[in-house]
Amino acid sequence: MIIPVGTSALLRCPHCRNPVEGVGYQLSNGSELRFAPLCPTCVESEKRERQQHLEEARNKERKLRWETLCPRAYRETDAARLPQEGMATVLAWRENRDGRGLLLFGPTGRGKTRLVWLLLWRLVVEEGLSLVALAETEFAHQCGWHFARGTAQQWVEELCQTPILFLDDLGKATVTDRFRHELFHVIEHRTAHGRPIFLTTNLVGEELTTRLGSTTGEALLRRLREHCQVIEL
């Protein structure tokens, strides 16, 4: 049996050895134990250390997640070689209530994809957002793969619900009716529910419309213009 007997003589903090008020306990055999707690300063120090360890583990996990998402070719980017005006506009993007995203267009080699991945570093590593990133050719491949295996509904739902969706190189994939239908569905759902989309393309206006089919292409392009900040590079 252990009986608390209150406080007694000052003892020493186990960490810093500063005086602290010890707590005494009397055992059933009549002997007494005294325990010296941490001083208030050391208690706060331990809290800060635990918080720092948690933040370091969180940041490590986020960096690993970003490296898993980001193709190796885009992980090391020399920002000084990218269009500076375009970079400032892209990196200034913030989550917004309207769910407006970004549509970057211009000739190949202008750094559109690299600019988006610079932004995604901040969103994933610093802000902890989740996202799905696909080149349009990957979208087309995965579309066929999931429909062939009966998992298309879950795949499309993930693209609709993820906080951020990045579609790279719009207009590069071979367009099938299935591809066109699912792409329109994903973009329509996200714009209707205020979930941002980031897109890059080498095509403009009529070229993109023709590529995606006149009816679907016009409707899709109209939604993107309404729900994305359009940036020419």
Separation in Å, CA 92 to CA 49, 118, 128, 193: 33, 11, 17, 22
Q: Which residue has the higher pLDDT, 4 or 20?
A: 20
Supply the pLDDT for residue 149. 94
Q: What share of the chain is helix, strand, coil (3-state, %, to 5)?
A: 50, 20, 25
Q: pLDDT by residue (tens digit) across 73-128?
A: 998 888 888 888 888 999 999 988 788 999 999 998 889 999 999 999 999 999 99
Q: pLDDT by residue (tens digit) across 177-196?
A: 888 889 999 999 999 999 99
Residue 102, CB-side half-sphere exposure with 13 Å CA sphere: 27
Backbone angles phi, psi at 38, to 5 degrees: -70, 150
**Neighbour count for residue 163 (Cβ, 10 Å):** 15
Q: What domains appear along the chain, each with residue ranges and CATH number?
A: 1-69 (no CATH), 72-232 (3.40.50.300)
pTM of the model: 0.79
pLDDT over 90, % of the chain: 46
